[in-house]
Amino acid sequence: MLETLRNAWRIGELRKKILYTLFMLLLYRLAGVIPVAGIDTAQVANIVEQYSLLDFMNTMTGSKLSEMTIMAMGIQPYINASIIMQLLTVAIPYLENLQKEGEEGRKKIAQYTRYATVILGFVQAVGLVVGMGAMRSDTFGSPFITSMVIGISMAAGTTLAMWIGERITENGIGNGISLLIFAGIIGSLFKWCANGIASLFTTTVTVGGIVTAVLLIVGILIMVTAVTFVDMGERRVPVQYAKKMVGRKMYGGQSTHIPLKVNSTGVLPLIFAFSIIQFPGTIFAFWQGSGISTWWNNVFMNSIWQQLVVALMIVFFAYFYTSITFNPIDIAKNMQQNGGTIPGIRQGKPTSDYLSRISNRLTLFGGIFLAVLATIPTLATIWGGIHLPFAASSLLIAVSVALETTRQLESQMLMRHYKGFL
């Protein structure tokens, strides 16, 4: 990765894109130090430590949720809005037709997603603060005015984060939304490492503490290795193209393969599941003290049932996203038109069924892998009383985004290499 960055830095155009990306990420982090008025941050920090879901959100925002800055919601409302729009695209014919119109239709859907992001950012911000019981009603003399200030401030922060992410995607390197989440996770990890180093000089070092630290480091390395191995793994389906005569020249006859990634959905199912499971708690917060709100916060959250629901949602979103991005029928048609066959499989429907069967198996494995990583921290706390300082899913997101960004850099360098050769 370092070698890739060094080579990319030598290309003037890529160097500008890298500097632009770093500047926008710096802007995102600087905006995250602006506090929101009318919130009891001590109460928020205490609640965040009690619930693994809120702790995961805190990690994704770089500890901005516990500090209750304008970036406390991060990019979560935008993710929720994107999920809702994707589901509505399947259910509402008007949106489905917009998606089929091409670039102009996608621009309109993106505009609707931005509007939904602002609304969700406001609702989630007010609901989250009210649900935590952290709103200082007397700050502006009225609970209504205080809630409006909190909602508008945090919705503005989410809007700024969305704008920064879109600018990075358009003018920088990599996917802007993923990089914002990556920046938050890396910031949280650095904060945890700094606190750990500081504790060495302020507390008594014991043999048990050293052993725990070593085991934790070994566990991190094992998880990073497993995530990298699965993220880069792929199933190669062999394809043989028949020879054909065009004029006086012979074409085709070569052997190739279709690369199907083991975890083709990346970290999106995990992010979608955590975003959706957090949304009902935001709605129930407006009826704080009611039976449903008390049951959700005190019984369902941090329970085995919550982890089971999260795991099932991760598997569901893995299949849902794969069904959108991978179409075996189109692949089979293209292969048939170009004279390609999979050895031992007939062309047409048998080929599409074969590809669909392989894709379903890979998706199931990828979904279960993501679900296991997502539920490790809470299950360790419930069954073993072990409190992990960060979620394994956070490492998954960080490693996956780093690998994807590296691949994009390599592809852009390869493209510019061929341009220079021509």
Domain ranges, ordered by start, for the chain: 12-203
* Residue among 3, 413, 410, 407 nearest 178 (CA): 407
pLDDT confidence of residue 412: 76
- 242/239 Cα distance (integer angstroms): 10
Q: How far is CA 199 from CA 189, 193, 278, 298, in A?
A: 15, 10, 33, 32
What pTM does this model have?
A: 0.74
Beta-ladder partners of 402: none
Cβ-based neighbour number of residue 152 at 10 Å: 17
pLDDT, one tens digit for every residue, the chain (422 residues): 667 777 777 777 888 888 999 999 999 988 888 888 888 888 888 877 766 667 767 777 777 888 888 888 888 888 888 878 877 887 788 888 887 777 788 888 889 899 999 998 898 888 888 877 778 877 777 888 888 888 899 999 999 999 999 999 888 888 888 888 888 888 777 777 777 666 666 666 677 667 767 777 777 777 778 777 887 788 888 888 776 666 666 655 677 788 888 887 777 787 778 777 777 766 776 666 667 767 776 677 667 777 788 888 888 888 888 887 788 888 888 888 877 888 888 888 888 888 888 988 988 888 888 888 777 766 665 555 555 555 666 777 777 788 778 878 877 777 665 544 44
Beta-ladder partners of 419: none
pLDDT confidence of residue 421: 40
- 304/288 Cα distance (integer angstroms): 23
3-state class of 414 per DSSP? Answer: helix
- Please say whether the beta carbons of 270 and 397 come within 8 A: yes
Residue reference for tokens 């990583």 = 373
Q: Which CATH superfamily is domain 12-203 in?
A: SecY subunit domain (1.10.3370.10)
Cα 210 to the center of its chain, rounded Å: 33
- Please say whether the beta carbons of 411 and 351 come within 8 A: no
Cβ-based neighbour number of residue 415 at 10 Å: 10
The values of phi and psi at residue 188, to 5°, are: -65, -40
The values of phi and psi at residue 405, to 5°, are: -65, -40
